[in-house]
Amino acid sequence: PDQVAAWGAQRLFADRFTRVPIDVISGPVTDALVGREYIAKNLGLAAANAVLEPERLAELVLEALKLESLKHQTPRPAVTGLEELPEHED
């Protein structure tokens, strides 16, 4: 069944594609509530059905993209005030 495929995908990515985490699962396994609950409870992953809950799926994907982009940002020093800026000579 589809739950077995979701479990297999999680194992495959955990074992072989360690640099590519699964953030959300969608597809036939999410057609029924039992599939979405299985994914959440047993796999610890987010699940959303693109037809039944497109807004939720979009939110999960956007959140995952935001978190991924934050991982790759270099922290910048905060600007504390204009008094620290050098004076400009004309």
Averaged pLDDT in 10-residue chunks for the chain of 90 residues: 94 93 95 96 97 96 87 65 56
Predicted pLDDT at 1: 75
Per the structure, the count of domains in the chain is 1
The SS3 call for residue 61 is: helix
Residue 71 is assigned to a structural domain of this protein: no
Rounded to two decimals, the pTM is 0.70
Residue 79 is assigned to a structural domain of this protein: no
Residue 51 is assigned to a structural domain of this protein: yes
Nearest-angstrom CA–CA distance, 65 and 50: 17
Structural domain that includes position 23: 2-65
Nearest-angstrom CA–CA distance, 76 and 10: 35
The SS3 call for residue 20 is: coil
Residue 74 is assigned to a structural domain of this protein: no
Residue 80 is assigned to a structural domain of this protein: no
Residue 12 is assigned to a structural domain of this protein: yes
Residue 73 is assigned to a structural domain of this protein: no
